[in-house]
Amino acid sequence: MSRRVVVTGIGAIAPNGEGADAFFQNCLDGVFSAAPVPEHWHHYGQLSSQVWAPLPSIDYSTYGVTRVDKMQLDPTGIMGIAGGVQALSQAGIATTCINERKGMHRLERIDPMQAGVYIGTGIGGLTSLIGSQANHVLTPVKKSCRDITRKINGDCAEAAAAVSDLAGSLRMPPRFNPFIVSMTMPNACAGTLGIRFGIKGPNETTCHACAAGTIALGHAFNSVKAGHITMALAGGVEYLTDEFGGIYRGFDIAGTLASSSHSPDSVNRPFDRDRSGFLFAEGGCSILVLEELSHALERGAEPVAEILGFAESFDAHSLMMMEPSGEQIERMFHSLLQQAGLTPDSIDYINTHGTGTELNDRVEAETIGRTFRKKPLIGATKSLIGHTLGASGALATSFTALALKHQKLHACKNLDNPEHDLNFVHTPGSYEIQNAIVQSFAFGGHNAALLMRRYAE
Amino acid sequence: MSHWENHPEIAKQVSDVIQEVLRVEPARIQPATKISDDLGADSLDIVSLLMALEEAFGQNISDEQAKNLVTVDDVIRFAVDHLASSSESK
């Protein structure tokens, strides 16, 4: 008999909520996070977009994150721990501390050799590297400023004060972090989770930009489905915010960010005629527990949703632009449906990539229309939380798993004038959904999708 | 007398940082306690401890200085010396 794979626990950190339940409810309630970018970012260069989606303030000590963890880990590792703790708790998997100094735990009733970690991230610990690099570059500059101030102070107090002010304006962390190598490497979050929870099976990091989280979940699904492991911690994590706004500027200068004249609350409008790009999020994380069904049921877990299939394809077209015909996306859809033995008309809901860029939304809407016609309900979780890149597919999967369980969907925020004639969700509330697709597309040319079903015995 | 006895407040601060970073019982932290040998701190633990001490005392600790911080009392002496020189420089 074919092995079935279910989601049994969900952790989530998004700009509009901390914890899976809060994130889900806030999406249903249309809670939205957008604000002007930090004022000092404008000092470094002209920005076309002025808005971002900051994360809520989170007390990570409630997830066992210590001061030592914060010294040694990039924010992605810290968010990963929090997401992992949330997911394991919701899955009913107890943890026992076995080494307090190293923060190592054992998962109760889980065979560590039969468990794996699969984490997607777009940029890994780039933020930490930027901070230490700033210290590296600016420390001698500050020293030179101090030397100059001292030399000229007697002759020209005004110039000395100006140089002193310049030194004071140089932003940098107080030290070049001795852990910077392990903070920066993209596999740090997956490694941290494996160490934290003593998971000794496959430990995989997927770096597929905005599709990384979806692909990580897909690879975890494949491993559980194939019988290589019985349980996985899987999802995506991203932290995109450096002190200088340089990462933001990279996306801004590429013309990908929402830059219309709308107010912060309405600038983010996937699939709307007035869309102008995506809303940059400070970061996000979602970690899920995937489990083989009988393994989950034997330990008394309650499945949230079932995963039926995963498919991916590659455009082989451009590192920064989607292939306009969407041919490889449609091929991916057909592969996904074939795996699950379903037809297009059996899909009730699609949680789209839905970034709000001109090309993404057009190609995505056209490929959905050609494959699925107007039947499935269409949602865009990014309309509420902005774009969390490598975490986005995992957050969309988490929302969709909970939507299948609770039979509720959020509305597409700011979708006042849809450019395409699809069955967009305009009103939050109760809907009948049995089968749902979550899809992600990424810089590089990656396309990935999961097919999920409402759990039934 | 040890620096611990002469500077009990700084000794407490140092002890607190060692407890927090190395997760050891307070009774194991004595003036003559060797941080690596007696508390089982590996090289990464030592780096974390130095970073935490830098944060606690607002002083950078160079690699050369770190080599001389073998016992708990060495750390207290370092903190005393550098806090004193820091306040003098102000």
- 3-state class (DSSP) for residue B57: helix
Cα atoms in the 13 Å half-sphere on the side-chain side of B15:
18
ipTM for this prediction: 0.88
Instruction: Give the chain B residue nearest A72 (alpha carbons).
Output: B48
pLDDT higher at B7 or A372: A372
How far apart CA A292 and CA A202 sit, in angstroms, is 16
Cβ–Cβ below 8 Å for A179 and B47? yes
Whether residue A176 lies within 8 A of chain B, CB to CB, comes out as no
Pairing of strands A5-14, A17-18: antiparallel
Burial degree of A371 (CB within 10 A; 0-12, 13-18, 19+) = buried
H or E stretch at A11 = strand A5-14
Catalytic residue chosen out of the listed positions A207, A210, A285, A412: A210
β-sheet bridge partners, residue A116: A232
Q: How far is B76 from chain A (nearest CA, A)?
A: 20
Q: How far is B69 from chain A (nearest CA, A)?
A: 18
How far apart CA A142 and CA A148 sit, in angstroms, is 10
How far apart CA A275 and CA A198 sit, in angstroms, is 45
For B52, which of A67, A101, A174 is closest by C-beta distance?
A67
Contacts of B52 in chain A (CB under 8 A): 67-68, 71
At residue B87 the predicted structure's pLDDT band, cuts being 50, 70 and 90, is very low
Residue B86 has pLDDT above 70, yes or no: no
> Which of A386, A371, A368 has its CA nearest to residue A424?
A368
**Amino acid type, B54:** E
Is A262 considered catalytic here? no
Cβ–Cβ below 8 Å for B51 and A175? yes
Cα–Cα distances (Å) from A115 to A198, A378, A420, B64, in that order, read 9, 34, 43, 44
Whether residue A178 lies within 8 A of chain B, CB to CB, comes out as yes
DSSP calls for A393-427: HHHHHHHHHHHHHHTEE---TT-SSBSS-SEE--S
Contacts of A179 in chain B (CB under 8 A): 47
> Which of A280, A36, A44, A35 has its CA nearest to residue A171?
A44
Burial degree of B43 (CB within 10 A; 0-12, 13-18, 19+) = exposed
Cβ–Cβ below 8 Å for A68 and B60? no
- 3-state class (DSSP) for residue A451: strand
Q: What is the pTM of this model?
A: 0.95
Pair A236, A391: CB distance under 8 Å: yes
Cβ–Cβ below 8 Å for A72 and B23? no
How far apart CA A266 and CA A208 sit, in angstroms, is 29
* Residue B31: Cβ within 10 Å count: 17
Cβ–Cβ below 8 Å for B54 and A100? no
Is A446 considered catalytic here? no
A 64-83 near B (Cβ less than 8 A): 66-68, 71-72
Per-10-residue mean pLDDT, chain A, length 457: 93 98 98 93 93 97 96 98 98 97 96 98 97 96 93 88 90 93 98 98 98 98 98 98 96 92 89 96 98 98 98 97 97 97 98 96 97 96 97 98 98 96 97 98 98 96
Catalytic residue chosen out of the listed positions B16, B37, B38, B42: B42
pLDDT of residue B89: 39
∠ CA(A250), CA(A272), CA(A436), 5° rounding?
90
Residue ranges of alpha helices (H) inside A153-211 are 157-169, 180-184, 188-197
Catalytic residue chosen out of the listed positions A208, A353, A410, A446: A353
Instruction: Give the chain B residue nearest A69 (alpha carbons).
Output: B48
∠ CA(B62), CA(B63), CA(B67), 5° rounding?
115
How far apart CA A136 and CA B45 sit, in angstroms, is 23
Q: What is the pLDDT of residues B19-56, one digit of tens each?
A: 999 999 999 999 999 999 999 999 999 999 999 999 99
β-sheet bridge partners, residue A453: A306, A435
Cβ–Cβ below 8 Å for A178 and B51? yes
How far apart CA A236 and CA A10 sit, in angstroms, is 12
How far apart CA A24 and CA A402 sit, in angstroms, is 7
B 35-64 near A (Cβ less than 8 A): 45, 47-48, 51-52, 54, 60
- 3-state class (DSSP) for residue A73: coil
The CA radius of gyration of chain B, in Å to the nearest whole number, is 12
Cβ–Cβ below 8 Å for A178 and B22? no
Chain A interface test: which of B20, B35, B51 (most A C-beta within 10 Å): B51
Cα–Cα distances (Å) from A238 to A167, A207, A285, in that order, read 32, 11, 6
How far apart CA A274 and CA A294 sit, in angstroms, is 48
Question: Residue A364 phi/psi, 5° resolution?
Answer: -65, -45
